[in-house]
Amino acid sequence: MLWVVPGVLLVAAGLGLAARGLRDLGPNLSPFPRPHRSATLVQTGVFAHTRHPIYGGLIMASTGWALWRASGLHLLLTAALAAYLHAKGRHEEMLLLERFPEYAAYRMRTKRLIPWIL
């Protein structure tokens, strides 16, 4: 019961972060790691603070769910999700560096997953 409130708050914050990332990405959203031909580098909105807000939001929400449910299994699944999204994000960043030379500077000034934290 002790973890219910922090868990619910993390789920809500994570879903909010992911939703904002989806909205701010707009027409640049793609299920594939390689940016499509007409893509632009989004550095505004939530992307001014984090490079992968959708991934960060999913990890936050998953962590919150594990706490809310007080489930070790869910926590292990969250760790697996975080490892997968971290690897996918690294691959995407290599592709973004190839496509957008300005991505290197953007990467230096923004957090990877969660604004102001990580």
Q: Band the pLDDT of 68: cuts 50, 70, 90.
A: very high
Angstrom distance (rounded) from CA 60 to CA 92? 20
For residue 53, give the amino acid letter.
P
Q: What is the pLDDT of residue 20?
A: 98
Which residues are CB-contacts of 106 (< 8 A; sequence separation ≥ 6)? 41, 43, 51, 100
Q: Which residue has the higher pLDDT, 1 or 39?
A: 39
Q: What is the pLDDT of residue 60?
A: 97
Angstrom distance (rounded) from CA 95 to CA 3? 39
- Write out pLDDT tens, residues 19-37: 999 999 999 999 889 999 9
Q: Give the chain's radius of gyration (CA, Å).
A: 15
Report helix, strand or coil for 50.
strand
- Write out pLDDT tens, residues 87-96: 999 999 999 9
Where helices occur in the chain by DSSP H, the ranges are 4-25, 53-69, 72-99, 103-109
